Amino acid sequence: MNAAITGVGAYVPEDILTNDELSKMVDTSDEWIMTRIGIKTRHILKGEGQGTSVMGEGAVRELLEKTNTSADEVDALICATVTPDHQFPATANIISDKAGIRNAFSFDINAGCSGFLYSLEAGSKLISSGQYKKVVVVGADKMSSITDYTDRATCPIFGDAAGAVMLEPSEDENGIQDSMLQSDGVGRKHLHQKAGGSVKPASHETVDKREHFIYQEGQQVFKWAVSKMADVSVEMMKKHNIEAEDLDWLVPHQANMRIIEATAKRMGIKKEQVMINIQKYGNTTAATLPLCLYEWEKDLKPGNNIILATFGAGFTWGSMYLRWSYDGSKIK
């Protein structure tokens, strides 16, 4: 039994941080950011006590409304995030509580920027087991909470957002067809958060050394991302005999416009076949893929061939091939 995505919701915080504003905070420019990364603006969640679950709740509430689902019908909720509200309990538990989901079990998945894809895989297997009928998969990150706004190498990249999809058993041959997921922990040295975990709990020293922020060796991550995301997407096309012109959409993780372009080039597809909104939102980590599906929902038709592709901290990467299940133009 295939699982199918039957609805999409999202939450994007109102406040916008522009390249011009960033240029007043660190030594950078709109020109550098646009040329090297391709981001114009990113949204930031502001306000005391506002964490990732606030955005997750917003996305889930919209999803339930759009899919006409009562909270009681949800069997499970999975939240992909690297910026949980707390070390524990899971942000998924908090989102479920806030959204009134009481008859479900919920848990978080941490797989860096690949978290949403990993969670979609986990959720789809819950559906295909036959035991669960409605699984909500959330990708949510408040990256501004771990971004160092004195570090010009990382602060232009990240933004805050959440997206959520409903998974249900597919009624036809559409839905999730296949996935290829991988990880390699050797990549951890190039992209991580140094303190705050069990290896180096928070202390005055870790705060003074600014070790609670994202640490990234950009060039290393870039090299890996370009090759792994493209390799796994090309492999998926070959495995399912998908010619470039047969692919309706590539939905790539939005980390850098140059990585997206390189992936599309390797797949032999045109830019018009690629969902790209990095210029508006930046890299929202676990939220990039559902946020793309949300923005393009109106254009999606049953049977559309879609490949999702991702790369992130871990390192983690993967691709998923799905055939879209409903007419997005009919959704209000």
The CA-based dihedral angle spanning residues 27, 31, 35, 38, taken in that order and rounded to the nearest 10 degrees: 90
> Is 37 an interacting residue with respect to ligand UT7 (CB under 6 A)?
yes
> Which is nearest to 113 in space by CA: 153, 88, 83?
83
Least CB distance to ligand UT7 at residue 32 (A):
4
> Is 36 an interacting residue with respect to ligand UT7 (CB under 6 A)?
yes
* Catalytic one of 93, 283, 292, 305: 283
> Is 110 an interacting residue with respect to ligand UT7 (CB under 6 A)?
no
Q: What are phi and psi of 30, to 5 degrees?
A: -55, -40
> Is 296 an interacting residue with respect to ligand UT7 (CB under 6 A)?
no
Stretch that binds ligand UT7, among 5-13, 135-143, 199-207, 216-224 (CB under 6 A): 216-224
Stretch that binds ligand UT7, among 65-73, 152-160, 204-212, 319-327 (CB under 6 A): 152-160
113 given a catalytic annotation: yes
Stretch that binds ligand UT7, among 54-62, 73-81, 221-229, 321-329 (CB under 6 A): 221-229
Q: Of 17, 135, 166, 255, which lies in the binding site for ligand UT7, with binding defined by CB under 6 A?
A: 255
Tokens representing 275 are 């969902």
How many other CB atoms are found less than 10 A from the CB of residue 288?
28
> Is 286 an interacting residue with respect to ligand UT7 (CB under 6 A)?
no
> Is 318 an interacting residue with respect to ligand UT7 (CB under 6 A)?
no
Residue of this chain nearest to ligand UT7 (CB atom): 218
> Is 233 an interacting residue with respect to ligand UT7 (CB under 6 A)?
no
292 given a catalytic annotation: no
Stretch that binds ligand UT7, among 31-39, 161-169, 274-282, 317-325 (CB under 6 A): 31-39
> Is 256 an interacting residue with respect to ligand UT7 (CB under 6 A)?
yes
> Which is nearest to 209 in space by CA: 225, 196, 228, 190?
196
Q: Of 28, 128, 182, 206, which lies in the binding site for ligand UT7, with binding defined by CB under 6 A?
A: 28
- Where on the phi/psi map is residue 122: left (φ > 0), alpha (ψ -120 to 50), or beta? alpha
Q: What DSSP string describes 22-85?
A: HHHHSS--HHHHHHHT--SEEEE--STT--HHHHHHHHHHHHHHHTT--GGG--EEEEE-SS-S
Tokens representing 73 are 């019908």
Terminus-to-terminus CA distance in the chain, angstroms?
A: 28
> Is 152 an interacting residue with respect to ligand UT7 (CB under 6 A)?
yes
Tokens representing 46 are 């502001």
* 294 vs 311 by CB, closer to ligand UT7: 311
> Is 218 an interacting residue with respect to ligand UT7 (CB under 6 A)?
yes
Q: Where are the beta strands (DSSP E) in the chain?
A: 3-11, 15-18, 41-44, 76-80, 105-109, 135-142, 160-169, 175-183, 191-193, 214-216, 249-252, 305-312, 316-323
- Report, in angstroms and rounded to the nearest whole number, the Rg of the chain calculated over CA atoms: 19
* 156 vs 175 by CB, closer to ligand UT7: 156
Interface residue list for ligand UT7 (CB under 6 A): 28, 32, 36-37, 113, 152-153, 156, 218-219, 221-222, 225, 255-256, 259, 283, 311-312
Write out the catalytic residue numbers. 113, 253, 283
